[in-house]
Amino acid sequence: MVNGRLEGKVAIVTGAGAGIGEAVAHKFAKEGASVVVNGLPDDPIEDVVKSIKHYGGKAIAYAGDVSQEFHAQNCVQTAINAYGKLDILINNAGVFLATAETQDYPVDVFDDTLRLNLRSAFLMAKYALPHLQKTRGNIVSAGSEAGYNGLAYNTTYGGTKGWMHSFMLGVAVEQAKYGVRANCVCPGAIDTAWTHKEEGPMNAKMEKTLIDATPLARRGTPEEIANVYAFIASDEASYVTGALWLADGGVTTAKGAAGADTPIWMRFAPKGELRLDHSQEGLENKETQTLI
């Protein structure tokens, strides 16, 4: 079960009930970390914990909206109470709730997106940092290629990711004197509910454009992104701080529909090793809107 890259580490993974967060929780446990699996009360975090334990890993659940100060504090304290320390904070919690041109974007969705994408990351960093300073630990937050490039039809989401990039860059410089590192992983289109028109707010045109613009001509898998998180969070990346680590299939460097040139036989994702049950459930129990 344990490969040892994160042996003896204690990690909190927010938004860990589905999608990339679920994969990160499994990957960290597989690499030897003890994991606090955080999600909203109706997210399947208990299933994720049960699955991690079934395969020999160590994990506990904390249900709560960490954009609320009470839950952010208590999520961090849960790690300390259970495992005695904190080495790694993964700020993965976030939402992608609507697609619309900016003039049509619902104000209530804008407010919810800022709260769940930004306030959660700030509060978790605020309350985790005193403990991370003791362990010379690190924070890895969920950026996005949309934070580099912007995102038409969900300009709010792209804006939150640009904020996340800048936030982590500032934390990296500020906290270096304590031995704390801070970085972002910046995915492109990943095979979760967010990028499928049947399960999320994207329409068929937006979904097709995401794939056509990717030189590798496919979605990434949650496990491929979890592998990047595991390296950056590990001691192997001890000289990596203030990095915005693109894992976007080449979208940011491409110009136009580069994926059209990639042969069909090269467009298949690797099979992977993690046993993930909730990859497509990240938008369950959440209201989404398609206004384009």
Q: Are 181 and 240 in contact (CB under 8 A)?
A: yes
**Residue 34 in 3-state DSSP?**
strand
Q: Which two tokens stand for residue 222?
A: 């949650």
**Residue 158 in 3-state DSSP?**
helix
Count CB neighbours of 55 within 10 A: 12
Q: Which two tokens stand for residue 114?
A: 């800022």
Q: Which two tokens stand for residue 245?
A: 């680590």
Q: Which residues of 209-225 are buried (b: 16+ CB within 10 A; e: fewer)?
A: bbbebbbbbbbbbbbbb
DSSP string, 71-124: HHHHHHHHHHHHHS---EEEE------EE--GGG--HHHHHHHHIIIIIHHHHH
Query: Can you state the angle between helices 120-135 and 69-83, rounded to 10 degrees?
Result: 30
Is-catalytic flag, 55? Answer: no
Q: Alpha-carbon distance 13 to 68, whole Å?
A: 16
Q: How far is CA 175 from the centre of its chain?
A: 21
The catalytically annotated residue of 83, 153, 157, 229 is: 157
Kind plus residue range of the DSSP H or E element containing 222: helix 222-233
Q: How far is CA 226 from the centre of its chain?
A: 9
Q: Show which residues are catalytic.
A: 157
